[in-house]
Chain A
Amino acid sequence: MAEVLVYVDHVDGAVRKPTLELLTLARRIGEPVAVALGAGADATAAVLAEHGAVKVLTADAPEFTEYLVVPKVDALQAAYEAVSPAAVLVPSSAEGKEIAARLAVRIGSGIITDAVDLEAGDEGPVATQSAFAASFTTKSRVSKGTPVITVKPNSAAVEAAPAAGAVEALAVTFGTLATGTKVTGRTPRESTGRPELTEAAIVVSGGRGVNGAENFGIIEELADSLGAAVGASRAAVDAGWYPHTNQVGQTGKSVSPQLYIASGISGAIQHRAGMQTSKTIVAINKDAEAPIFDLVDYGVVGDLFTVVPQLTAEIKARQS
């Protein structure tokens, strides 16, 4: 059976959920061979094997942290040359897309980004994507070279499928471009303890109607009662009420959770582009004419400052 390279997104050996989803999709088109780079790469093997990786290629070197992106491309290319896979799958993070794109140029292949589903086809893997703020669904394939495809989080269920997962060291030679962009400083983002926005099963977002950074507490409290991530509209981010890393929309993150709760968000096209593929959509807004209500499964026309705390209290009451 053809081998499929899966690029592993992990933090010090802890594999992030989108990579496990990728393994599920990779099994539809071949045998997954995982590529894990950097500190803790070896530690990823057990969980990757549990989810179907027949092999785990690992490499660590200071270049991966001291320079931007390119050293990882060199490593993925080395894995590509070692394996000659039928496809290369990479998680659709900002960095993942850059790594995939540069690899595609080097190996003379086409690239598809932000796939939300993947299946085997007669002429290679067929990727489903959303276009035009998720108003269209397209099916595409790579027609030149080995398909390089990046896949959005929440695109497949994580399935256990034990495989050998034999760890092999990957030999990497860094090219002259690898040391082009130096990382001179790194400030880790403080963990909020909440799930990562793009990976979360539930997202609770606040917008202009939240009316101040100090009021985001009620959005966070609702999120915490549901074990959800917190999102924000561009208006709320531009006003400085919430960090840009939490922005949902065209210029921020695109999310596709099981449940999306929009509070005080009107639903401009910019925002809809980032959340329209959510499975269940709920909105709370005092403006009955807000376009967000066109998208909802359930909407409450009312003041979020009374509705949200009441909802949070009710959830807590039902859980206890």
Chain B
Amino acid sequence: MSLRIVVCVKYVPDATGDRQFTEDLTVNRDDVDGLLSELDEYAVEQALQISENSDDDVEITVLTVGPEDAKDALRKALSMGADKAVHVEDDDLHGTDVMGTSLVLAKAIEKAGYDLVVTGMASTDGTMGVLPAILAERLGVPQVTLLSEVKVEGGTVTGRRDGDTASEQLEASLPALVSVTDQSGEARYPSFKGIMAAKKKPVESWDLEDLEIEADEVGLEGSWTAVDSAAQRPARTAGTIVKDEGEGGKQLAEFLAGQKFI
């Protein structure tokens, strides 16, 4: 038996940098360092754990859609232990929204071949959190999403989803799509050996033609949504800051009373 896992990852601008929009109101990727989205590290980690706990022959492919730099995210995932990588890159993809990106990912996942797709719960830049559900819909496979625990055994995936009102145990047959939360388990650091091995692992590059997608189905023009304006939030006016010299709690109560919270 063999198990083919595709992990979708995203290369995102570092959240600690000064993130801005460009003139066409897409995300400025030039002035801020990029990195593998932290939430996708958990997806890579769970794929590796599924592989390590499996008696089957498991192959893990990491997949990303993004500009040239996005290869860095693939390298990171490969150095953590993934087997190979696919990079979908095409100039016509600039400004693609979630509907277009999910279309590209779905076609690439089908082309790569899969039994299980693993993603993070959301990207750390767009933070929509809808891509996993959209991918499941597009692929026509069960969505087993927002898992804090995941197990794959005998063609079945099981997991725990911790919601607001209840914690649910889920079960689905493969092929399926899984998304994992940051509660699923710490992601490992790449070892020196892993980093060296990653350099020799295959990275395939596909463009829109390889995926039989027309340019007008993606990109800014083909987008299903339009951003009309982006304005930097005005800096907050400096607040009152007091040092506690024994009456700090009472002073704060006075402020809250003045604001009618008490």
| Residues on A facing B (Cβ under 8 Å) | 11, 68-70, 73, 93-95, 97-98, 100-102, 104-106, 109-114, 126, 130-145, 177, 180-189, 196, 202, 226, 244-245, 250-251, 258-259, 269-270, 273, 280-282, 284, 288, 293-303, 306-315, 318-319
Q: Which of B236-250 contact A (CB under 8 A)?
A: 236, 239-244, 247-250
Check B226–A259 contact: CB distance below 8 A: no
Top 8 A-B pairs ranked by shortest CB distance?
A: A302-B244, A310-B249, A110-B224, A180-B142, A101-B130, A185-B169, A314-B253, A311-B249
Check B240–A297 contact: CB distance below 8 A: yes
Q: How far is the CB of A91 from chain B (nearest CB, A)?
A: 11
Which stretch, B1-9, B79-87, B131-139, B197-205, touches the partner chain A?
B131-139
Check A250–B262 contact: CB distance below 8 A: no
Mind listing 10 A-B residue pairs with CB under 8 Å? A68-B144, A94-B146, A101-B134, A136-B233, A144-B225, A177-B137, A177-B142, A302-B248, A306-B248, A318-B262
- Complex Cα distance, B232 from A132, in Å, reads 10
| Residues on B facing A (Cβ under 8 Å) | 15-16, 19-21, 25, 38-39, 97-99, 102, 121, 124-125, 127-134, 136-138, 140-146, 148, 158, 161-173, 176, 181-183, 223-233, 236, 239-244, 247-253, 255-257, 259, 261-262
Number of CB contacts from chain A to chain B under 8 A:
261
Check B137–A308 contact: CB distance below 8 A: no
Considering the complex, give the chain B residue whose CB is closest to the CB of A202. B261
With A101-B133, A282-B252: A110-B164 Cβ-Cβ less than 8 Å: no
Considering the complex, give the chain A residue whose CB is closest to the CB of B144. A181
Q: How far is the CB of B186 from chain A (nearest CB, A)?
A: 9
Contacts of A314 in B (CB 8 A): 249-250, 253
- Complex Cα distance, B162 from A186, in Å, reads 10
- Complex Cα distance, B149 from A206, in Å, reads 26
- Complex Cα distance, B167 from A244, in Å, reads 12
Contacts of B121 in A (CB 8 A): 251
Considering the complex, give the chain A residue whose CB is closest to the CB of B249. A310
Contacts of B164 in A (CB 8 A): 93-94, 189, 196, 245
Considering the complex, give the chain B residue whose CB is closest to the CB of A293. B241
- Complex Cα distance, B16 from A91, in Å, reads 29
Check B224–A144 contact: CB distance below 8 A: yes
Check B134–A105 contact: CB distance below 8 A: yes
Contacts of A297 in B (CB 8 A): 236, 239-240
Check B229–A250 contact: CB distance below 8 A: no
Contacts of B97 in A (CB 8 A): 110
Check B262–A244 contact: CB distance below 8 A: no
Considering the complex, give the chain B residue whose CB is closest to the CB of A127. B225
Q: How far is the CB of B100 from chain A (nearest CB, A)?
A: 10
Check B225–A143 contact: CB distance below 8 A: yes
Q: How far is the CB of B56 from chain A (nearest CB, A)?
A: 22
Contacts of B131 in A (CB 8 A): 101
- Complex Cα distance, B137 from A109, in Å, reads 14
Contacts of B233 in A (CB 8 A): 130, 134-137
Check B130–A307 contact: CB distance below 8 A: no
- Which residue, A94, A95, A188, has most C-beta atoms of chain B within 10 A? A94
Considering the complex, give the chain B residue whose CB is closest to the CB of A282. B252
- Complex Cα distance, B102 from A102, in Å, reads 11
Contacts of A141 in B (CB 8 A): 225-226, 228
Check A97–B15 contact: CB distance below 8 A: no
Check B228–A280 contact: CB distance below 8 A: no
Contacts of A188 in B (CB 8 A): 165-166
Check B227–A138 contact: CB distance below 8 A: yes
Contacts of A273 in B (CB 8 A): 15, 127
Q: From the candidates A137, A138, A142, A301, name the one contacting B242 in the complex (CB within 8 A).
A: A301
Check B19–A105 contact: CB distance below 8 A: no
Q: From the candidates A112, A137, A308, name the one contacting B231 in the complex (CB within 8 A).
A: A137
Check B262–A143 contact: CB distance below 8 A: no
Considering the complex, give the chain B residue whose CB is closest to the CB of A70. B143
With A133-B15, A136-B233: A251-B224 Cβ-Cβ less than 8 Å: no
Considering the complex, give the chain A residue whose CB is closest to the CB of B244. A302
Check A282–B256 contact: CB distance below 8 A: yes
Considering the complex, give the chain A residue whose CB is closest to the CB of B169. A185
Contacts of B165 in A (CB 8 A): 11, 188-189
Check B224–A145 contact: CB distance below 8 A: yes
- Which residue, B20, B168, B236, B252, has most C-beta atoms of chain A within 10 A? B252
Q: From the candidates A97, A142, A196, name the one contacting B129 in the complex (CB within 8 A).
A: A97
